[in-house]
Structure formats: structure tokens, C-alpha cells
Amino acid sequence: MYRKILSLILISLAIFLNIGCGGKPSKGVRLPKNPKPIYVPGVTPALPEYRIGFGDVLGIKFFYDPELNEELLVRSDGRITLPRLGDFVVVGLTPTQVDSIVTEKYSEILKNPDITVQVRESAREVVYVFGEVRSPGPIEMNGRLTALQAIASAGGFNLIAEQSSVIVFHSNGLDRPTAQRINLSRVLDRKNLSENIVLSGYDIVYVPKTFIGKLNIFINQFFTNIFPPLFNSYIQGYNAYRIEDRYDYYMRFRD
């Protein structure tokens, strides 16, 4: 009796294990393999080339003149100093562009220079969150960072924060800074997720306590009256020089 019951249980178990989701017998479970990304020239869009930033470390290698090899820090003024050439701006340029410039300049004093420019170390970039958040100040970027993620890293909104009128200032250090108003209350309500923009290094996210009506007027007030005390309170060290170099451009263009 017990043997029959045990046999029935084993048979039922075997049938259960061999039945697929559609009720048909299956030869075994095969997990789908994740396809590897393939770059197809002319079809797949190429990724943009890296652009050199403040604090990056560049390696300048001379194949025929190794005594000129250098590792250079991109200073807070966006420049590097090369032997026999002096200073020139590299911030905002790609390594390929710097390679071409350096090779052209050295061809005036060296015969057929063979030079390679590499980014040996990328500076860790930060964004700054000010205004009605619990812990204002710099937020280190580790990959992709959205405005809402930055605010969350700063402790989140205060109770009096105006979530519908968050201002993001952006400058790449070369062009005129831009300002953009984003409505994060619509993001939190899942009505418009596109308002939760992706930030770039040294962007400033400002959370006001009241709605900002005229953005142009507020920009003047921000860089004249609001930003200076925030800058002195929350930004220190080398990052202070880097962000100051970027945003002092605004004072040149605001009129």
C-alpha cells in the first residue's frame, strides 16, 4: 500500500517537473542569455568623446623625446603648462583636440614629434544643492545624477520648500551659464518625469521657499545677493576655485 502511494507521488512529481508553462512537456529550463551590446558603424550612434575638466590629470607622452614626458594637473583656471610652450587652456576640449594642438605647437621646435595625450585621472565632480533642503552643500557625483537624487542626497526638501520652482544653473566653464526652472512636484506626483533632469558636474540646484516668477530677475538677484554667502558657507578648498571659475562668467555676461 505504502509502495503504491510512494510510486504515485514520484510519478506526479516527475510529470510536474517536465510540464512547461503552456502545459506541454519541456526538455529542460533554459535561461535566455543577455545579448552583448554590439556597435555597428553607421547604425549605432557613437558615444561622445570625453571632455577635459578642471582637476583632471593629463599624461603627455613623447615617443621620440621621452625626457619631455609630463603628467599635468588641469588647474582651476582651466590651463596646463607645457615645457617650452607655456600655458594654454584645455578645459572643454577633447583629448584628441589637445593632442592635435600640442603636436602642432611642438612641431615648431621638434622634428616630426609623435605625441599622445591621455587622461590619466578624472577629477571627481560635484554638484551643489542650496536653499530649502536639510543638508545644503556639495554632493559628489558617482555616475548619473538627477536633480531629485541630488536633493535627496542633501537630506530632502524642507517643509517650506517650493518644489514646483526649483532652479538649476549650469555652466561648462567656457560658455555663458544657463538657468532652468524645473517642477519637481510633478515628478513626485509622477505626472511629468521629464522634469527630473540629469545634472552635469558643478551644476547648482537651488530650492526656493516661494515660487520664482520672473526667472531673469531672479538670476541677477541670485548671483548678486544669494550665491556669495552660500559660496562662503558651503564651498571650501579646491572645489571652491573650480566652481568660482565657472560661475564668474555669469558676471561678465549678465548685462
Ranges of each domain in the chain: 57-121, 126-253
**Cα separation, 49 vs 226, whole angstroms:** 35
Instruction: For 176-211, write each residue's pLDDT tens digit.
Output: 678 889 999 999 888 888 899 988 888 899 999 998
Identity (one letter) of the amino acid at 104? Answer: E
Radius of gyration of the chain (CA): 28
Identity (one letter) of the amino acid at 85? Answer: L
Identity (one letter) of the amino acid at 111? Answer: K
CB 182 within 8 Å of CB 147:
yes
Three-state DSSP state, 108: coil
Q: Which CATH class is domain 126-253?
A: alpha beta
- pLDDT for the residue 31: 43
Instruction: For 111-155, write each residue's pLDDT tens digit.
Output: 888 999 999 988 777 889 999 999 998 898 887 889 999 999 999
Alpha helices in the chain (DSSP H): 2-17, 95-106, 147-153, 184-188, 215-221, 227-234, 238-253
Answer yes or no: pTM beyond 0.75. Answer: no
**Cα separation, 61 vs 66, whole angstroms:** 7
Region 57-121: CATH code:
3.30.1950.10
